[in-house]
Amino acid sequence: MRAYERLLKYVKVHTTSDENSGTLPSTERQFVLAELLANEMREIGIRDAGVDENCYVCGSIPATPGYEKMPRIGFIAHMDTAPDASGENVNPVIWEDYDGTDIMIGNGRVLSPEMFPHLRSLRGRTLITTDGTTLLGADDKAGIAEIMTMAEEVISHDIPHGRIAIAFTPDEEIGHGAEALDLDAFGSDFAYTVDGGAENDLEYENFNAAKAVFHIRGREVHPGSAKDIMINAALVAAEVIAMLPSAETPAHTEGREGFYHVTGISGDVEQAEVVLIIRDHSASVFDARINTVEMIAKVLNEKYGEGTVQLEVKEQYRNMIEKIQPFMHLITNARAAIKETGMTPAEIPVRGGTDGARLSFRGLPCPNLGTGGYAFHGPYEHITAEGMDKAVEVLLGIVKRYADNDLQC
């Protein structure tokens, strides 16, 4: 079975996660796909496949006899879809021999090369899109389909290999996918997440990330006698935003450039709140950004009185590069596997985070590979069957390289 055929089946299962749930998994519906995947894994020959109480699907392919001392390699993808758009009643649409021009995908939406220039390079492929009403779910059900197809190829064609560990995780989209994966049971020396964009993507740098919340307490009195007494919390919130560097936002930055991103502002005279996320690839610049928001809180408390502003900063994840560098064979072998398919590796820093970053800091070095998908998290999401085939070839190439004494590390 080709990977895209599996994708068409998986996206029909509603698996949107819920950041307000407070449970793991955040939604019970993720168990539906988890059980489906575990059953399919057993059908293709992964005998130990199963689902644990936290909705992690794990299984392994034992090493080929004589290859037991080869490195143990893992592959990971996530089952949930982002809450940004509906993931229910997904109706994928297949466009055979796509001609590289505008497509009316439905619901008044046009998938256009003007918006997505890479579409021209997909001419002649089998394009898979949404019907314009939901996201597609290729993030990351494409990664699941590609890992599953790779595993089937390894087993059915007796491709020599060391131990291969596989995990499909819940709740990646809300930042919790790597938290409860039992790494000892997973049993891998290192792994790859398959959760990127274009099929030639190879990602091993990501943002350092934090969330900051300014809690602002005002002082409300009658406006007719408010001079030198009133503290308008809503206006103080506006000051917080005005004190942030205006050019250092997502709309003005790219590549390794970091940013402050205000994600919410609410309140009235008596109390207000400003929520933002802070991102930077450089650890030292990231620390400086944290210092900046701390200084804003300090200055405003000096201006309006201690306790007016309370700042809460929570680190979310760190740049995986510091954990990948001692294991650069992961990059060397993935780079070579991509080249062997006839593609040029696209080694671009991730302007976000992945489960791979969190797993790397838990002790499992874990760069990220592309799936062939584009425009994730919304109704313009799309992928090609051929791109998915290439992604499977890359995974097989990596497996073969780690089974080769001369090439693995």
Question: So which residues are the catalytic ones?
Answer: 80, 172
**C-alpha–C-alpha distance, residues 125 and 139, integer Å:** 20
Nearest to 364 by CA among 181, 172, 189, 169: 189
Token code pair at residue 103: 């497509």
**C-alpha–C-alpha distance, residues 178 and 353, integer Å:** 12
Q: Is the backbone of residue 55 left (phi > 0), alpha (psi -120 to 50) or beta?
A: left
Q: Is 201 exposed, middle or buried (0-12, 13-18, 19+ CB in 10 A)?
A: buried
3-state secondary structure the chain: CCHHHHHHHHCCCCCECCCCCCCCCCCCCHHHHHHHHHHHHHHHCCCCCEECCCCCEEEEECCCCCCCCCCCEEEEEECCECCCCCCCCCCCEEECCCCCCCEEEECCEEECCCCCHHHHHHCCCCEEECCCCCCCCHHHHHHHHHHHHHHHHHHHCCCCCCCEEEEEECCHHHCCCCCCCCHHHHCCCEEEEEEECCCCEEECCECEEEEEEEEEECECCCHHHCCCCCECHHHHHHHHHHHCCCCCCHHHCCCCCCEEEEEEEEECCCEEEEEEEEEECCHHHHHHHHHHHHHHHHHHHHHHCCCCEEEEEEEEECCCHHHHHHHCHHHHHHHHHHHHCCCCCECCCECCCCHHHHHHHCCCCCCEEECCEECCCCCCCEEEHHHHHHHHHHHHHHHHHHCCCCCCC
